[in-house]
Structure 1
Amino acid sequence: MNLNTLQGFRQEVYGCFDRAADALFNSVDALLTETQAHSFPELSLSPSFERRWCSLYEAFEDGQIDQRRLRQVFVRYLLRSADEERVWLGIDATSIERPQSKTSPDRTVVYKPNLPESSKPISYGWQFSTVVLLPVQPSSWTAVLDQQRIRSEQTSVEVAAAQLRQLAPLLECRPIVASDRCYSCAPFLLATEGLPFDKLLRLKRKRVLYRRAPAPTGKRGAPRKDGAR
């Protein structure tokens, strides 16, 4: 991505902010440059944040983002850099723990790995479903096409299927979607049936596949529901 393309991308992202655009855009720059900040005052000390620290509250309380337009900008610019014949997309759910934030709305139980065997692998926080453009060469950068929070009354499969339905009209190619074993289930396959995506899904180790059930024999008893393994 050259400098002119980057400048055009930033201008279009800025145009997706319907309210408190300057404060939101400065907040984005500050978040990108101050990765170690743990509070609003620390974030406001970033050289990229050109406003007073109280503008951070304005950005997050009053700011409005045109999500549909922003998704279109991401798809247009990120897929422009993909020169491969087939584009690979990855989709997965990620947890953000907030065990001490008791007043935060809509927290839910989230999975927490790498705990001692005697501890329950759970915590409290939020889950986010993310669709990314997988790079051809391994890289520390990730091109995010879409990210949505999984509300407590939703599942990761429901949100992932909705994201693919929203992205489908914006894509000019037929990408391959790679995802983990929790997406190799009937609800996800049925919800994404007919969408212009090919899928490469990991299967659970205990998953059993059957051939088509044979034709009824006419003998007594219920016909077979499944074929041979």
Structure 2
Amino acid sequence: MSVLEQDAQQEALAALSRFRGAFYDCLNGREDALFELTDALLCTDGPVKTLVDLALASEHRRGHGALYGGLNKGRLDIDRLRRTITGMPLPKAADGRLVLAVDVSPWLRPDAATCPDRSFCHTYGRGDAKHQMIPGWPYSIVAALETGRTSWTAILDAVRLEPGTDLAAVTTGQVREVVERLIAAGQWHQGDLQILVVLDSGYDAPRIAHLLGGLPVQVLGRLRSDRVRRRSTPPRVYDPKGGRPPKHGGEFIFGDPNTWGTEQAVTVTDTRLYGKATAQAWDRLHLRLTRRAAWLDHDGPLPIIEGTVIRLAVEHLPSGGVNKPVWLWWSGTNATAEDVNRCWHSFLRRFDVEHTFRMLKQTLGWTKPRLRSSAAADRWTWLVIAAHTQLRLARPLAVDLRRPWEKKTEPNKLAPARVRRGFRNLHTKVLAPARAPQPPRPGPGRPPGPKNRRPATRHDVGRVLATGEAYARPAHHKKGTKPRRTR
């Protein structure tokens, strides 16, 4: 090993130890139990199937009672942990730009009637027309993306969506706080390239771009293929008949090529997976807003939010599915060929966050615990994020412990699950601030007595009416009341 490689590993080891010490300082109650629970999450063999199995790991020196006690009654300074994660080294795009992906991942709890704050989560089925709304806890997650084909992302924030919340408003506030923390941590300086925020089709990208005004960010979102946009306001021409001048230009209908006109920029790229990829861009298109839904209470005249519409078409899909063009909206204007290529490449990199969700759920067992309290669920979510951050920092230190049937991989290109496989060997080299447990004392045991006659309170899934008020079950639907006579 060369001297440069040794220095890089020493620096990575120091960064990992520094984060572990800062993470321990963020734990204000039951800190030793919560810290060792995170170590057990990192060092246990195989995927996490149940929460109590983590108490059997050698890194968890306490009993299973301390495990549940830490999650239910422990305290975690989430704001301080957010700032700590933001201060760690973050991945960037090829041009040195920070690229953030925002998406919602649900923690499904369909049978947990005693859990409060549940909402209806949109899930995708395996068959056609199998989209369902299942009760659970949806979490909005912001992650930093890196360049190239990879399954690594840096999770920066996670917020549980309350029932009836405005997704665009919550996303705007979340992204604004993340950007402000990035600036405060020195991850972005005046004169750097603007931060790119990538959204999927479920977000109102123009509205989010309007609400994020004043920040050094650009918004890139996906649009449905049946949308209509308007061109810029045409120059005012004297009309002898009078009348109000037009506020919007001609229509740009996604499904009608006759309305597209001349493109602002066109790029053609040969790709390995999709064949020839053609991207067309049209400048200064906007949506004609009306005073309804989110703009109902807007003060003053409705804004005109102009941007660039990009149409991406490829020759074929690797899966052999239906080949349809992808429509994107970018908040920037006067796009060049380099801007168009960067936008659609960044949108493809957004799917890396799906690999992160799969890692959190299938390997780290994020949604495996059957916790009753939503506060305990938030606490466990941030423990999983802290574990994932440690895996990312340990990426340069990991050794490939591959199975006989697995292909050889370079150490710096290991997937998160394979880095976790060798984390137990790194655990002895990094800082471990948790104190040793005290000698246990045998308790008196559970005293004999009657069974629990106070069942837990049951909560309905959060539903909100169009007026913004919480849904209340009608009196004739409540248990123990007679049905209303209808005839």
Q: How high is the TM-score relative to the length of structure 2?
A: 0.43
* Cα distance in 2 between the residues matched to 1:48 and 1:138: 33
Aligned counterpart for 1:132 among listed residues 137, 143, 159: 143
Residue 13 of structure 2 is aligned to residue 3 of structure 1: yes
Residue 186 of structure 1, CA deviation? 4.2
Residue 118 of structure 1, CA deviation? 6.3
* Cα distance in 1 between the residues matched to 2:23 and 2:139: 21
Residues 205 and 78 (structure 1), Cα distance of their counterparts in 2 relative to 1, 3 Å cut: farther
What is residue 165 of structure 1 aligned with on the other side?
Answer: 176
Residue 108 of structure 1, CA deviation? 1.3
Residue 37 of structure 1, CA deviation? 3.3
2:228 alignment partner, SS class: coil
* Cα distance in 2 between the residues matched to 1:68 and 1:137: 31
Residue 227 of structure 2 is aligned to residue 203 of structure 1: no
Aligned counterpart for 2:214 among listed residues 183, 191, 194: 194
* Cα distance in 2 between the residues matched to 1:89 and 1:120: 27
* Cα distance in 2 between the residues matched to 1:133 and 1:83: 9
Aligned counterpart for 1:154 among listed residues 150, 159, 165: 165
Range 176-185 or range 98-107, more displaced: 176-185
Paired residue type of 2:147: V
What is residue 248 of structure 2 aligned with on the other side?
Answer: 226
Paired residue type of 1:130: I
Residue 41 of structure 1, CA deviation? 2.1
Paired residue type of 2:78: Q
Residue 28 of structure 1, CA deviation? 1.8
What is residue 117 of structure 2 aligned with on the other side?
Answer: 106
**What whole-Å deviation, never above 9, does each CA across 1:98-134 have from its counterpart, x for those lacking one?**
1111111111111121244465522111111111111
* Cα distance in 2 between the residues matched to 1:144 and 1:204: 27
Residue 3 of structure 1, CA deviation? 1.2
Residue 70 of structure 1, CA deviation? 0.9
Q: How high is the TM-score relative to the length of structure 1?
A: 0.87
* Cα distance in 2 between the residues matched to 1:83 and 1:181: 22
* Cα distance in 1 between the residues matched to 2:151 and 2:205: 30
Paired residue type of 1:111: H
Aligned counterpart for 1:87 among listed residues 89, 98, 105: 98
Larger Rg: 2
* Cα distance in 2 between the residues matched to 1:83 and 1:119: 36
* Cα distance in 1 between the residues matched to 2:40 and 2:226: 46
Q: Which of structures 1 and 2 has the larger relative contact order (alpha carbons within 8 angstroms, sep 6+)? A: 2
CA RMSD of aligned residues (A): 2.4
**What whole-Å deviation, never above 9, does each CA across 1:21-66 have from its counterpart, x for those lacking one?**
1111122222334463343322212233221111112211222222
Range 199-208 or range 216-225, more displaced: 216-225
Paired residue type of 2:220: L
1:182 alignment partner, SS class: coil
Number of equivalences: 228
Residue 83 of structure 1, CA deviation? 8.1
Residue 34 of structure 2 is aligned to residue 31 of structure 1: no
Identity %: 30
Range 122-131 or range 154-163, more displaced: 154-163
Q: Residue 168 of structure 2 contacts residue 208 of structure 2 at CA under 8 Å; is this kept in 1?
A: yes
Q: Residue 123 of structure 2 contacts residue 132 of structure 2 at CA under 8 Å; is this kept in 1?
A: yes
What stretches of structure 1 of length at least 5 have no aligned partner? none
* Cα distance in 1 between the residues matched to 2:92 and 2:229: 35
Residue 217 of structure 1, CA deviation? 5.3
Paired residue type of 1:27: L
Residues 92 and 118 (structure 1), Cα distance of their counterparts in 2 relative to 1, 3 Å cut: closer
Q: Residue 40 of structure 1 contacts residue 53 of structure 1 at CA under 8 Å; is this kept in 2?
A: no
What stretches of structure 2 of length at least 5 have no aligned partner? 1-10, 189-193, 252-487
Residues 182 and 217 (structure 1), Cα distance of their counterparts in 2 relative to 1, 3 Å cut: farther
